[in-house]
Amino acid sequence: MHAKTAHELHALLADKKLSSVELTAAVFDRIEKVEAKVKAYVTLTKEDALKQARAADERIKSNQNVTPLTGIPIAIKDNMCTRAVTTTCSSRILANYLPPYDATVVAKIKAAGAVMIGKTNLDEFAMGSSTENSGFHPTHNPWDTKTVPGGSSGGSAAAVAAGEAILSTGSDTGGSIRQPASFCGVVGLKPTYGRVSRYGLVAFASSLDQIGPIAKDVTDAAILMNVLAGHDPQDSTSVDRPVPDYRKALTADVKKLKIGVIKELLGAGIDQAVKAAVQKAIAKFEELGAQIIEVSLPTFEYAVATYYLIAPAEASSNLARYDGVKFGPRTKAAKDLVSMYYNTRQAGFGQEVKRRIMLGTYALSAGYYDAYYLKALKVRTLIKQDFEKAFSGCDVLLSPTAPTVAFKLGEKTADPLAMYLSDIATIPINLAGLPALSLPCGLDRGLPIGLQLIGQAFAEETILRAAFAYEQNTDWHKQKPPL
């Protein structure tokens, strides 16, 4: 059961050929078998999950308010608040935090009748590209447990790839849904900024963070997106516009669709095997009737530097609240208020979080604000304008999701800059607030390669349509890890 998609399982549940209790138990059996190797979870909520599964079965039996998610086991990234279930952001500073409320996306998932099976591991406060920065333990890639699953939503992507969850949620600040989806051979969608509520998402960089689905195929991503999307008055950045039925976009027809191939993301720094797989995907789109156009986005070379000024600056501000006063553990080794702040943050935050807080505080400090932060905001505008120019002649833009396949655990931990460059293809999209999707398009040495499709603001339907057409004409999404 754990290997099936949500839409296949929904059909079995609706026809009463399977109960949600049986399905949930099957997923927990799978977790028992493989979790020691993968380490995708921080918290499992088996008792609650079985209770929710029984409620879902009652709902299906009485045929009341049944949705495509009713009875489907789903994992939640552990930076989204879950009422009375620990929400740690994989940080020691929040190790025992029990939120008094559900994040809007969690409330929506529960209202749809899905079964929450647990909270997945991530890079601490979503800062990282490998899930090695977790305050608890690194997560391993199900395709090769000596490699990383990507980050920061590594636990969410690994759980879906390993069959430890049917669906999961991720958050994406600079590639944190798409890059792990690429490394783990699953589908990950980062929606347009403002399309999904951030209320209850623990903030890393508020102008960049966005929640989205991680799934086994494009249909499942569309099903979960239908639930996640929509205006929320509790989030001032949430956009009030109608939500389409994303499943209706899955027509498998890309005739006359104009696809722009980003020249800068098929050049230096992109692995040969990745390049070859993406070129084959481009040929497949051409064969399906799409029009291929080469486009240039020259400001991309400044995107990583721009991001690493804006995101840490916002993190420095957002993480000021973790001071040993309001929530989380407080150090006992303190002689006054200042030393209490200092020692609590010193013990509670990991190396990468401290690094980014310092980078951000420096970029915002008197005398440096104009030279760094303000200049980065101006470059962000130029990147956005580059996208606008490219979209004046294209419907969708295409690139690799990551420059390489998954790298070995520990390979880049000593070199933060090499780690930061693994998000070179995903970061510009967050800076411009656009939607983008990663789906599998090949294998290299037995490890998945991801193809990234980028859309105009609020054009999730267009990228889902293109992704579905590609998926239906290839079988990369059917490949499973040998775990």
Q: Is the pLDDT of residue 327 over 80?
A: no
pLDDT level of residue 151 (50, 70, 90 thresholds): very high
The per-residue pLDDT for 227 is 98
Bridge partners of 170? 212
pLDDT bracket for residue 366 (50, 70, 90): confident
Predicted confidence band of residue 330 (pLDDT cuts 50, 70, 90): confident
Per-residue confidence (pLDDT) for residue 126, from 0 to 100: 96
DSSP-derived secondary structure letter, 32: H
What residues act catalytically? 77, 152, 176
How many domains does one find in the chain? 1
Binned at pLDDT 50, 70 and 90, residue 106 comes out as very high
| Residue 348 CA: distances (Å) to CA of 93, 127, 294, 352, 442 | 4, 15, 47, 12, 40
In a domain, 446, yes or no: yes
Q: Which pLDDT band, with edges at 50, 70 and 90, does 333 fall under?
A: confident
Span 236-276, pLDDT tens digits: 999 999 999 999 999 989 999 999 999 999 988 899 999 99
pLDDT at 473 over 80: yes
Q: What is the pLDDT of residue 331?
A: 86
3-state secondary structure of 44: strand
Q: Could you tell me if residue 1 is inside a domain? A: no
pLDDT level of residue 51 (50, 70, 90 thresholds) = very high
Residue 473 lies in a domain: yes
Residue range 403-408: mean pLDDT, rounded:
96
Does 415 score more than 90 pLDDT? no
pLDDT at 483 over 90: no
Q: Which stretches of 233-277 are assigned E, i.e. beta strand?
A: 258-262
Cβ neighbours for 282, distance < 8 A, ≥ 6 positions apart: 259, 261, 292, 398
227 Cβ neighbours under 8 A, 6+ residues apart? 67, 69, 108, 109, 112, 114
Q: What integer is the mean pLDDT of 101-112?
A: 98
Domain of 457, CATH number, reads 3.90.1300.10
Does residue 440 fall inside a structural domain?
yes
The band of 326, judged by pLDDT with boundaries at 50, 70 and 90, is confident
Asked whether residue 30 is assigned to any structural domain, the reply reads: yes
The range of the structural domain enclosing residue 461 comes to 6-253+434-478
Kindly give, in sequence order, each residue whose CB lies less than 8 Å from that of residue 444, ignoring residues fewer than 6 positions away.
271, 273, 274, 277, 405
Half-sphere exposure of 253 (CA within 13 A, CB side): 5
> 182, 180, 400, 179: which is closest to 276 by C-alpha?
400
Q: Look at residue 267 in the predicted model and tell me its pLDDT.
A: 86
Q: Place 428 in a pLDDT band, splitting at 50, 70 and 90.
A: very high
d(CA 139, CA 148): 7
Indicate the pLDDT class of residue 439, thresholds 50, 70 and 90.
very high
Could you tell me the pLDDT band of residue 25, with boundaries at 50, 70 and 90? very high
The pLDDT assigned to 1 comes to 92
* pLDDT at residue 367, rounded to an integer: 86
**pLDDT of the residue at 269:** 87
Confidence check: pLDDT of 397 > 90 = yes
Look at residue 21 and tell me if it is in a domain.
yes
Mean pLDDT computed over every residue of the chain:
96
Phi, psi torsion values for 27, nearest 5 degrees: -65, -40
pTM: 0.97
61 close to 3: Cβ distance less than 8 angstroms = no
Confidence bin at 280 (pLDDT 50/70/90): very high
* pLDDT tier for residue 332 given thresholds of 50, 70 and 90: confident
pLDDT of 116 higher than 80:
yes
pLDDT at 411 over 80: yes
Q: What is the mean pLDDT of residues 218-241?
A: 97
User: Token pair of 99, please?
Assistant: 């939120």
Q: Where is pLDDT greater, at 223 or 370? A: 223
pLDDT at 422: 86
User: Omega before 152 cis (within 30°)?
Assistant: yes
Q: Which of 23-37, 67-81, 210-224, 258-272 has the lowest mean pLDDT?
A: 258-272
The pLDDT of residue 284: 98
* Residue 371 placed within a domain: no
pLDDT at 203: 95
Instruction: Quickly state the pLDDT bin for 188 (edges 50, 70, 90).
Output: very high
Weakest mean pLDDT among 45-49, 146-150, 257-261, 359-363:
359-363
pLDDT of residue 420: 86
89 domain-assigned: yes
